[in-house]
Amino acid sequence: MLLIVLVIAPTGVLAKKDHRLFDQLERATIDLGQAVKRVEHQMKGRVYKARLEKAGRRNLVFMVHSLIKKEVIVVTVDPRSGQIINATQEGFWEKWTERSLKKAAKSTKIPLSQAILIAQKACEGKASRARLELSDELVHYAIDVQSRYERCTVLVDSENGEFFILRDRDREHD
């Protein structure tokens, strides 16, 4: 006899890991947008990707990928102090796989930090990941935003800042 159990969670309820992520984002003294802006300003480069990432057992850092004079520099920013911890040149594999994104980063009209602000305002939360994407020759930013009760992805046009929100609850019905 085969027993199938179906568990249905009510809309608006997030998994524990989502609540932990939101709590960690709330405890940071700077958000992802501020970390990106700091890298854009101090490193004088064009940021095309950034995310919150684990560094060790309990520590979290912002990893910010910036195009500086044809080189990709990965900058580590401490979310508690806002200080740049480290900056290293990206490896060969990353250079090879992301070369189309690096070309696209040069053509964006709005910086990633501005796209993050747009997304955080649209979803009333904190960004945990942001990246430049190409689809059908269109260049846009995709920003994952976490709020207390939901997670959403905001697609922001890299030329004019117009946006579209994809909420997790909308994706469940597809």
Q: pLDDT tens for residues 89-138?
A: 876 666 666 667 777 777 889 999 999 999 999 999 999 999 998 877 78
pLDDT band for position 168 (cuts 50, 70, 90): confident
Residue 14: per-residue pLDDT: 44
Residue 169: per-residue pLDDT: 64
> Is residue 152 a contact partner of residue 124, using CB atoms and an 8 Å limit?
no
> Is residue 62 a contact partner of residue 49, using CB atoms and an 8 Å limit?
no
- Give Cβ neighbours of residue 152 (< 8 Å, ≥ 6 apart): 123, 125, 144, 145, 165, 166, 167, 168
Q: pLDDT tens for residues 52-96?
A: 888 776 678 999 988 887 788 899 999 888 899 888 887 666 666
- Give Cβ neighbours of residue 126 (< 8 Å, ≥ 6 apart): 22, 25, 26, 28, 31, 32, 120, 145, 146, 147
114, 42, 45, 116: which is closest to 83 by C-alpha?
42
Q: pLDDT tens for residues 22-53?
A: 666 777 788 899 999 999 998 888 888 999 88
Residue 22: per-residue pLDDT: 65
Average pLDDT (155-159) is 93
- Give Cβ neighbours of residue 157 (< 8 Å, ≥ 6 apart): 140, 163
Residue type, 161: G
Least confident of 12-16, 88-92, 130-134, 147-151: 12-16
Query: What is the residue-averaged pLDDT of the chain?
Result: 79
pLDDT band for position 150 (cuts 50, 70, 90): confident
Residue 93: per-residue pLDDT: 61
Identify the structural domains of the chain with CATH numbers, from first to last: 16-172 (3.10.450.40)
105, 123, 33: which is closest to 66 by C-alpha?
105
Q: Which has the higher per-residue pLDDT, 5 or 95?
A: 95
Beta bridge partners of 89: 73
The rounded distance, in Å, linking the Cα atoms of 61 and 77 is 6
pLDDT band for position 21 (cuts 50, 70, 90): low
